[in-house]
Structure formats: structure tokens, C-alpha cells
Amino acid sequence: MALPTPGEWLDRIRALPRPASGHLRIMNVCGGHERTITHAGLRKVLPDYLELIPGPGCPVCVCPEEDIHAAVALSLADDVIVATFGDMVRVPCNAPRREPRSLQAARALGGRVVPVASPGEVLTLARQHPGKRVVFFAAGFETTTAPIAALFSRTDLPDNLLLLLSARQTWPAIAHLLEDGAPGFDALIAPGHVATIMGAEQWRFVPEAHGLPTAVAGFTPGLILAGLHAVLRQALDRAPRLDNAYPQCVTAAGNRRAQALMGELFEITDAEWRGIGPLPDSGYGCTTTLAERDARRHFPGVFEAAYARRGEMPPGCDCAEVVLGRIRPPQCRLYGSACRPESPVGPCMVSEEGACRIWWSHGVRPTQDAPAGRIAATPVEAAPGATDPGETDPGETAPIERAPDQEARRWVLAGVVQGVGFRPFVQRLASRRDLAGQVRNSGGKVVIEAQGSADRLDAFERALLAEAPRLARPRLARRETIPATLSPPDAARPFVIRQSDGDPGGAIHLPLDTPVCPACLAEMHDPQDRHHGYPFTHCDQCGPRYSVIERLPYDRARTSLKAFPLCPECRREYDDPQSRRFHAQSIGCPQCGPRLTFVEGGVEGNRTLTDPGEALAAAIAALAEGRIVAVKGVGGYHLMADAGNPAALATLRERKHRPHKPFAVMVPWQGEDGLEVVRRHARLDPAAAEALLADERPVVLLPLRADHGLEAGLAPGLDEVGVLLPYAPLHHLLMEALARPLVATSANVAGEPIIADRAMAEQRLGRVADAFLHHDRPILHPVDDGIRRPIAGRARPLRPGRGSSPLELELPWRLPRAVLAVGAQQKSTVCLAWEARLVLSPHIGELSALRTQQAFARQIETLAGLYGVRPELVLHDAHRGYHSTRWARDSGLACREVAHHHAHAAALCGEHGRFREPTLVFTWDGTGLGPDGTLWGGEALLGRPGHWQRHASFAPFALPGGEAAIREPWRLATTLGWQSGLEGPVAEGTGEELALLRAAWERRLNAPACSAVGRLFDAAAALLVPMPRVSHEAQAAMRLEALAQSNEERDGQPLKLPHRRDPDGVLRCDWRPLIRHLHDARLAPERRAADFHATLVRVLCRQAGAAREATGVETLGLTGGVFQNRRLTEGAVAALEEDGFRVLLHERLPCNDAAISVGQVMEGLARLSRHEEE
């Protein structure tokens, strides 16, 4: 018998009557529960009388500070390596300013700290370093403690492996709350994962000793809803008991073998809980069996000193109250101000199981207006009685006059309110509150009119903002009273959705493409459902949006789906207020929706299958046979091939002329959170996991596990791979049928934009693909997959793509006229800005290719057309050779140039709202034209947007052959060697080539002066990898970083490079000692690569310190393509923060040239505010 779907569980809960108390507070113990509840938006769809309270289920959040102090001290010892789970690396503790406050900070000071994903990795680490003592700092609850026990029960462990155990039991924290007499909750959802080990019976004390309804629940939305249904029934029956709502995995007794193993190695002890204090019988300690591996016994002095520094939470931090469910995250005094994921003060903002981190990542910001227990996805900007000064003149708002029985109001909501299921949400919300009225799209906004009692209208208005659909970002633009002319609700006048009207103009907010939701996937997998196996199954909360929209208002008739009239069954769902497909524009079914076609052609064969089932089966068979298939998706085509088939990879590389550039890999969605296959091949930290599962569904660059099973040909010479999860129903069907990772690389010719049209695909890819899997839903706006890389605790964007772009930012003040910024040459994007809004386009590509230039022009027209904005001023780069600059100067519009690195710095400051405060911004990249006419790329700029001074840079060097030196880095390696006093041939090149190079270098023929750090990376890679020639951008830097990561000692030894001021007062770093060091063949290449990175970190600290000494500046930023390097950036952030600086990194924008167009707007905005218009 099939399990109920989440929607069915929700219907069952809604069908139950309200409890007699009128309110039910339910605590969910586990952080995994809270993550699912928040990210699936369960609070917003449950009845308003249910309040879900996050509880003490985050082991990282309660790990005592003294254990962190001890781990930090051990990591700095000469012969110790500390291994710990990823979250623990960033957990802060109280320490003086000059001492490391986390393991991450200790690592920056030379501490040996290795993040691991499993106990098995610790064993591998200990075996790789027999001369070091490897201390496993293990914090966790019972589900973590059991595999730790399994590891230390082995008889083949190396002698150097030790254990610092900081494990806790889960139930004592709940017992502590209950014994307090005022627990703050009325029912309990117990953690299913813990219960798989310890058994459901462990929680029987809650209903029997304290009379609270209790259910053990799993972690998917459906399983959590099943648990909520169980406790709600208990509350209604007034019969508290223990229900097992997770019988698939949980038994009454649990895993007795695991329990016995834990009992043999660990003993129950009293234990400290951070911020809470000691709880009796709540922790695990090592028994005498493990005495020889107990780190506390090996390092008594370290632990004595750590315990002497035992403390509570940092001042102002309320993590303990959040952990115990006494307050919600936004009620913490530091939430969103001093404490954010990139700069956490308390542990709850670090761990992916911490409530603060979960709420922040879901968009919950500090707000005083959000009702207790209800999560506001965006701040409530206008509560009843207030107006939004940005949208409405208070003098034009009619006063609210209460009628004796009924009154009527009109609301206008702006923001992201179209294409996100907002009108159906409003209809259901009004119907539940017995209000009469209507809702309609009007231009880019939503207009609502409702009639009812004043109290109900007030509650309705609050819920419009606080309970909006997950994808919506509503903002109240206007409120007014209107005549109460509607019949009262009991006269059967319904609340209805009216036809859209109005011209959107510039007020629109485009909806973004979103991945298929769990409910639609469940239907696609249900043999009894009419959507079974249908690769275009969607509802009002998922599916294509931006890629199919013609214009707003967002209705089916204004999308590419207008070619697919709804069948009677789909029409019934479209018109049913209780259906998820109520007024959902992207729906369809096998009878009326888009269809698949398989074409076998191009390289071989000639066969067409128009039956969708046969087409899908043929594509699956082709992929299984090792052939290359071009598959049309949401924003364009992917070239797909078996990622485990070396012959298929070699063929794809040969046909695509892509010998080295890494391929992205799509992996099957397996396991409870979909990440099981990812974890099998890659090391996954919380930031990466969060990014993989986000609505953007980007490609995330992940470090490979030592025992990964992927082919080396996916990412030659690198230690990481780009991974993405299936996001379209079609992807899920392919992945489930093949049950293996697939290459999913953009279907294009090198340097050109992604292909989205069938005819173009067959024409341009006919020599690459063996077959095509087409569908007939037109893609109106091609958009590539985004790319992110976890850096410094956050998955930083490297390429804007599907699901995240067009990206909208708010400007600090209004522009006097509409502006178009056309960006740079590489990683091209364009940016449209008007009034106080800015919109960044999706990734376009490299503008040297004709088709990319055509796509560039189309993208400009697309943004201007969709938003109804015509620019009057064009901002462009100073480089006259860029296509974007030539386009701007030929456009006939007024133009203004913005220096490349000024744009980089302004983009970072603009993203962080720093337009008036002085900031030191390091802009390190490949090259960009500086205001002095030389090639910059290693600059430290001091000031603010519109006012930059060059504080520091690198000593200039010649770039022999210009672009040729970038394509063939041996040339640069050779000339830098000569400039460093090394006379012999130091890199690749024939005698004739070296002679010609020497002559050109000495005469400075076609050898422009350059100060770019990116080019130093090229030279270092040419010397150490070696790499005479590159086949794609950043190949040299990527190989060098991978080489440094393989250094056995992990951290390099920095050189102290000399600095001198030039005649203009710019502090110049002399890089020549570093080049000479790279030639030291006595050191392994891995060591020299690590030293190279460490030295650049020291240069950053030296130049930052000089700026602070001269000006007092305390805030600095890192931007430019060089800071895509994870090793360099994380080392720099840790060292600079340890030195007392506040460090800014990009969060929503890429640090590379994709953000140049945004920076051009920010720089232009600052200049226009000074009335410098031409």
C-alpha cells in the first residue's frame, strides 16, 4: 500500500478540528527536522493554531567551549593533527583578540586542522601521517556516536589515532526542559535518526511522566507531517502516548548491536552543554577500554588550561535560549547584525542543524512584526496602520473607517508576487478567514480587495506577508479602505481570482525557474497518478518561469506554454482552489502538455521517435551504451554522457575540442536528503549541501574523496568536481533509470552561449552528439546552470544562472536616469538599473565569439523589453578593445567609462551597502586596463565607490606577447625568471623560441606592463605542474591550487616579500624572491605551490596592515577572479580576521568579471550623485 503523500497528510491535518485550547505548541527536537520544516515551508501551509518550535537537536550548538579551546591548542602543537567534522571548524569560542577563536582561525596560524565527513576519513588520515598524533575531535548525538564506536572497535587502528569525544545524548535536554516546570511546548516530535539507534521507547517518559503527546518522526516533509498528525490526534483525544510515525526505520528497541558497541567503549557521564550548563547523565566518555586513545589522558595540561577558561556564550549571544526553544532566532540580540553565517558569533549560526543558520539561509531576517511561531520569509515592511513611504504618499491613503459589522479594504502588493502561486495563496487565505472579495494581477503587482470584520482583515493582512508562498517576496505598496458593497461571506459571495490587467512598466519582478517540488515528484512516481512518468509535471510552486515568460502580468497566455491548451482534467485542477495547480501556469499532463522526441542523427544513424515513452527509453538506452545525447532541459540543452565511461568522456572531449576543462556531473537523487550519491564521491560541508539543494540547483564545486568512484577524465589534474542534482522531472527520470552519474555540460560550441533551439542544436551539435532528446516547450530565454564554490563557510557564486538570475538588487538611492552597464569581455553579463532598482542578467559568455556577441545584444533587448525600461546612459569598461565597449560607443546613447578594477571594488562595496565608509578593497584578477593605461590586476584600492585611491600593488612586469603569454604561460615563467636574475632556460620552449622571446622581452616589444596576480599564478603553474600551454581560462590557477592542496604538510611556509613605495606613493610588492623560491628543486612541487599561496596571504596582511596604520581603516574586501581560489581566500580571511580586520566577500555576486556590470552601475551611481553627468 502506497504511503500518503505530503499533500494528503496536510489535508488530514487540516480536516482535524482546532484543539480546545485554541493553540498547540509542538517542539521538533532535531535540527534535521527544523531544516525540512523551514526549507519545505511547512509552517506556512499548516493551520495557524499549530506552532512549531525548534529544539535542542544541534550537537555542534551545545559542544562546550572548553573542548573547542582544547582542540585549538592541540592543533597548534608541533606533532598533532586535529580532525573534526566540517561544522566544528568554524564554531567560535571566547578568546582574546590576538588568539584564535576557532579551529579555522588556528588553521590560519599554522594549526593542523583537517575537516572530515566520516570517521573512515580520520582512519585514512592517521595512516597517511604515522609521525603525527591524529586527534579525532568528535561532537555529536547518538547517530554520530555509533559510527565513532564502530571505528574505535577495530583492531587494526594505528597507534597514533586518538579520540577527543564530545558526544551527548539527546533525551536529557528535553528532560531538563520538562523538569523545569514550564517547558514552553505542548507536544513533542522526537528525532527519527536517534531513534533508529536508541529505539522509540527512549521517549516514552515524555507522555507517561509529563503527559505530553509524542511521536517519533522521519525527516522528509511527508514523514514530519505524519508525526504532526499523530500528536495532533493525541491532543484532540486528550490521550498522550508514544506513536512511532517512522516505522520504516525505527523499532521500539532500536539497534541493539550499536547500543552494545557504544556501551562497551563509552560510559554515560554528566556533561556540560554550552550555554546551558551541566546536565546529569547526558554525555559519553571513554571507558578504560579506550584509555590509551583518550586524548584527555594524553594531554592533561592542555585540558586543564582549557577548563580554566570555561565560559558561557559571547556577550549578547542568545544561542542557549534558541537551542532550548525559549526564543526564536530573530529574537536573538545579535541575529542578522553582529551574527551572520559569514561571521558567526554563536554556534547556532554555524551548523546546518542550527536553527539560526537554517532560518537565515531560508531568508528570515530580523523583524519585530513577525508573529511568534510563524516564519516571515521577508521582513514585514508595512503592518496595519503603516504606509510604505517608498511607494505611497500618506496623504493619498484613505483613512480606515470601521463599519459596525463589515468593512472592505484594498491592498496593492509589489515585489516578487507573480509566477509564485501568490494569487491562489491569497484566495485560499481569504476563504479560510471567511472573507469575500477578489485578487488579480495588475501590471507587475497584485491587487487584493476583501470584505469582512476589522479583526479578520487585520489578521488577513499580516498573513499576506508572514505566510506568503516560499518563492514569493511580497511588499505592501498601498492600503486603502473602499466601500463595503460586497455581500457578506455568509451570503455565499466567494473570494475569486479575476483576470489580469494593466501594463507592468518598470514595476515588474520576474519569477525565476524553480526545481520540481517533492509533491510533483511523488505524483510522477505514483503508478496510479495520471502524471506518472510524465517529464513535465509541475504545480504552482515549481517549474519553469523566467525561461518561458513573454511578459507580465504572468498568465499562461503570456508564456510559451500558451501553445498547450489544458485538457479537461488539468482545467479542473487549474480551477480548483484546493489543488496545488490552482491557477498554476506551467502545468500539463501527458494528454495536453509538452512532449518528448528522440532523434538519432548527427554523428551516426538517422531515426526519429515521436512517442514520448519510446523517446525517453531510447535516450536512456543510448546513454547506457556510452553514447552522447544532447538533452533539452529548462534553460537549454545539456550534452550528457555516462560519467563512468572513459571512452565516452574521451569522445566527448575530442568532439567538443575540450581537452582539459572540467565537466559538470549530474548525480542521482538518492537518500533521505537526496545527497547520498554526492557524499559517496565528494566531501560535503554544510554550505555546499545547502547550495546543492537550493532552488537555484547550481553546479557546486566539491573536493573529491580519496576513494571516489568517478573517472579522472571528468576533471583532469584537479582534486574537485562540479556536481549538480537533477532539477527537472526529465532529469529525475533519466537519473533514476540509469542509476549512475552523468556528464551534464552546457551544449554549446566553445565560447558560445548555451543552445536552446532544436534546429540550432541539430545544426551546431551534429558533430558532437550521437542523438538528441528534444521537447516542444519553447525556451524563450536561454539560461545556463549557475556555478558556486564553497569558500569561507558559504557557497559563493562564480556564474549567475538558472534559478538565481535575473538577479535583482536594491540601490541605496534613486538614479536620475535609466542606466545600462555592459560589463567586460569575459564572463559577460549586462546590468539594467533605473529608479532604485538594479537587474543583473544571466551569464552570457565570452564576447570574442560572434554568436555570443549576438546573444549579448539580445540580452540587452530582453531586459529592456521585459522590464519596460529604456536606458539613457551606457556604462562600459575603459578597454577600447572589448566588444562591450565598442557596442556601447556605437549605441548612439550617452556613454561613460568605468575603470575595470574600480568596478570590481564598487561591486563588492555596493553589495554590502558601503557607499560612504572607507574600505580597503583588494582587486586581484587576470588583467584589466587601469586608469594609467597599464594592465592592473594586483591592486589594493582605498576609498569608496566613486572615490578610489591606489594604495598598493605589485611591482610591474612585462607580459611578453600580450595574450600569447596567457595562452602559453611558459613565456611568462621564463621572462619572470630572467627579471628575477635567473639566466638559464627556466621553462618550456625551443632554442629558437627562447631566443625570439629574449629579444622581444629586452626591447619590450608587444610586452605591456602588468601587475596582475592572476598572471603570477600562470607563471607558477608553468614552473611547477608544468604547463606550457593552457586550453581554457583559469586552467593554470586551478592546477596550481590542486597541487598545493596535495601538499602533505597542508599549510605552506610564507616568504616575507619586500615592499617599497613607488614615486606615486603606491606600496609595491617585489615578487622576485617568490619566483626564485619556485625554482628551488630541493623542495617538492607540492610544497612550493603551498608556499606560493601562503606567501600571497602574507602579502595581503602586510598591505592591509600598512593601510590601517596610515588611515585607520578596519574593513577590507577581497574581489576579482583570483579570489575564486578557495585555498587563498580562506587563508586570507582567517589571517586577516585574526589580525582584527572585518573582511567582506561577495555573497550574491561573483567575484569575477560577471559582476563588472554591477560594479559599473555602483560606480556610476556614486558619480551621478555628485552631479557629474555628461
Edge-to-edge strand list for the sheet holding 161-167: 113-116, 80-85, 133-140, 161-167
Phi, psi of 907 (to 5 degrees): -60, -45
Per DSSP bridges, beta strands 873-877 and 894-898 are parallel
**Residue 934 and residue 1009 in contact, taking contact as beta carbons nearer than 8 Å:** yes
**Residue 667 and residue 811 in contact, taking contact as beta carbons nearer than 8 Å:** no
Which residues have CB under 8 Å from 1142's CB, separation 6+? 343, 1114, 1115, 1116
**Residue 637 and residue 756 in contact, taking contact as beta carbons nearer than 8 Å:** yes
At residue 787's C-alpha, the angle toward residues 781 and 793, to 5°, is 140
**Residue 140 and residue 109 in contact, taking contact as beta carbons nearer than 8 Å:** no
Query: For residue 937, what is the enclosing H or E element?
Result: strand 935-944
Phi, psi of 1038 (to 5 degrees): -65, -45
At 428, the amino acid letter reads: R
DSSP letters along 238-285, please? T---EEES-TTT--SS--HHHHHHHHHHEEEEEEEETTTEEEEEEEEE
Q: Report which DSSP code applies to 329.
A: G
**Residue 552 and residue 508 in contact, taking contact as beta carbons nearer than 8 Å:** yes
In the three-class reduction of DSSP (H, G, I as helix; E, B as strand; rest coil), residue 917 is classed as: coil
Measure Cα distances from 746 to 663, 692, 735, 772, 843 in Å. Answer: 9, 18, 17, 14, 12
Query: For residue 621, what is the enclosing H or E element?
Result: helix 612-624
At 430, the amino acid letter reads: A
Q: What CA–CA distance (Å, rounded) separates 1044 from 1042? A: 5
Phi, psi of 205 (to 5 degrees): -65, -25
CB atoms closer than 10 angstroms to residue 665: 26
Q: Which of 340, 423, 473, 627 is catalytic?
A: 423
- Longest CA–CA span in the chain (Å) reads 98
Q: Which of 28, 244, 255, 441 is catalytic?
A: 441
Q: Which three cell numbers stand for residue 120?
A: 573512515
Q: What CA–CA distance (Å, rounded) separates 746 from 10? A: 39
Q: Return the bridge partners of 794, or none.
A: 791
Which residues have CB under 8 Å from 653's CB, separation 6+? 659, 713
Q: What CA–CA distance (Å, rounded) separates 945 from 899? A: 12
Query: For residue 466, what is the enclosing H or E element?
Result: helix 454-466
Nearest partner of 559 among 576, 544, 575, 538, judged by Cα:
544
CB atoms closer than 10 angstroms to residue 1105: 14
Q: What CA–CA distance (Å, rounded) separates 12 from 1151? A: 48
Q: Return the bridge partners of 115, or none.
A: 84
Look up 441 and say whether it is catalytic: yes
Q: What CA–CA distance (Å, rounded) separates 628 from 604? A: 11
**Residue 700 and residue 727 in contact, taking contact as beta carbons nearer than 8 Å:** no
DSSP letters along 124-185, please? HHHHH-TTSEEEEEEEE-HHHHHHHHHHHT-S---TTEEEEEEEB-SHHHHHHHHHTS--S-
Catalytic (active-site) positions: 423, 441
